[in-house]
Amino acid sequence: MQGVGFRFFVARVGRRLGLHGHVRNLPDHRRVEVIAQGPRPALEALVQELQVGPPLAIVESVTVAWAAPDGDLPAFAIRA
């Protein structure tokens, strides 16, 4: 995924929803990983936003795995 601003989009939405976590490109540069913590309704809203993405993105699929919170994550950020 190149040049569509997907990570910036995810970080902006995550911050707006008050979530903690990060977004990063995976090594194949075709997929993005999102780790997020927060209230369930905010997480569900994030998933809905991920399914659409920013204007230039084509989202083929979104895989969601729910888990118990694992410690404190910093405010939502983009990771390299």
Q: Residue 59 — very low, low, confident or very high, per pLDDT cuts 50/70/90? A: very high
Which DSSP string do the residues of the chain spell out, in sequence order?
--SS-HHHHHHHHHHHTT-EEEEEE-TTSS-EEEEEES-HHHHHHHHHHHHH-STT--------------SPPPBSEE--
Cα–Cα nearest to 22, from 30, 31, 32, 11? 11
Q: Residue 13 — very low, low, confident or very high, per pLDDT cuts 50/70/90? A: very high
Q: Catalytic annotation on 25?
A: yes
Indicate the CATH number for domain 6-78: 3.30.70.100
Res 69: pLDDT: 86
Res 9: pLDDT: 96
Q: Catalytic annotation on 40?
A: no
**With 90 as the cut, is the pLDDT of residue 78 above it?**
yes
Q: Which residues contact 47 (CB under 8 A, 6 or more apart)?
A: 62, 64
Is the model's pTM score more than 0.85?
yes
Q: Which of 12, 16, 25, 40 is catalytic?
A: 25
